[in-house]
Amino acid sequence: MATWTAADIPDLSGKTAIVTGANKNLGFHTALELARHGADVTLACRNRERGNAALEGIRRAAPDAEVSLAVLDLADLASVERFAGEYGAARPGLDILVNNAGILGIPRVLTADGFETQFGVNYLGHFALTGRLLPLLLNRPGARVVSLSTWIVNRMGTIDFDNLQGERAYDKFNAYNQAKLANLVFSRELSRRYSGRGLSGVSAHPGFAVSDLQYTGPRMEGSRFQELFFKIPTLLFAKPTATGALPTLYAATAPDVIPGACYGPTGPAQIRGRTGKVSTPVKIHDPELALRLWDVSERLTGVSYAETALSETKGS
């Protein structure tokens, strides 16, 4: 595959998009390029002040962009429901949903709904958001849901149904990998269920790109050593954030994307290299794992995809 860049993004005029966590890092660059290529983009951000700063940054970089801000806290299912309701009241459909927002390596704290925060934000919040927006996605044939994963799950990561919330034992990096592995399983299962109705679930990861995501945990713990532990290799080896956003943009817009596949850097260990389809852990192909995770996710979030899909059918 030839080197794919943001210049290869097709014209997105007339399409709508939501990017969670769009106020900084990968989310900002993803939203910027989608807007720059014609999409009507909503920045879904937890912090309104930071969201407004990102909004102005995109408007400066792309003065003709259609871009807006909406507050979304993925650690609060009531906020997810409110966001989806307001978005649906204003627009008849949704073409691209990028489940980008994430938290990495933090101490065990709980969301507003009592979930371990990494699992709650990185996976469950996005599962609920996608389900709430399902009628809008099904209204747009060819719609895509892109969920962010990580190259690390190819080496470690498991979904422990007996310890999903880290009650029995908690390791902050295992919790992160569990949530990112769940995103891979979710993307495949979403495609299995809905690709026949024109909706694709796809995964992407940036490889090793510049971000401040890894500093949140050390700062919460007041550990200067841990912060330096991440900062030094980032300064030495990480690629620019805008480059790290390319796999997400490819998964969201390229015409040859395969439903259920994952896209990332194709170099050694999927850390750097050209953007393309990458290998994923064998375990995510287990249909029993997918069905169990889906059932647990619906029960925990209270979001039934069958019911929201039925509401779309009644309204069409």
Q: Which residues are catalytic?
A: 176
Nearby residues of 17 by Cβ (< 8 Å), 6 or more positions away: 31, 34, 39, 40, 41, 42, 94, 95, 96, 97, 98, 252
d(CA 210, CA 153): 19
Distance CA 25, CA 40 (A): 20
Cα–Cα–Cα angle for 31, 34, 38, rounded to 5 degrees: 135
Cα–Cα distance between 18 and 196 in angstroms, integer? 22
- Name residues whose C-beta falls within 8 Å of residue 64's C-beta, 6 or more positions apart in sequence: none
Measured distance CA(257)–CA(39) in Å, rounded: 18
Contact assessment for residue 5 and residue 75, using Cβ atoms and an 8 Å cutoff: no
For the chain, give me the number of helices (H) and strands (E)?
A: 13, 8
Single-letter amino acid code for the residue at 296? V
Helix or strand run (H / E) with residue 202: strand 199-204
Q: How many CA atoms lie within 13 A of 280 on its CB side?
A: 27
The pair of structure tokens assigned to 33 is 């390029």
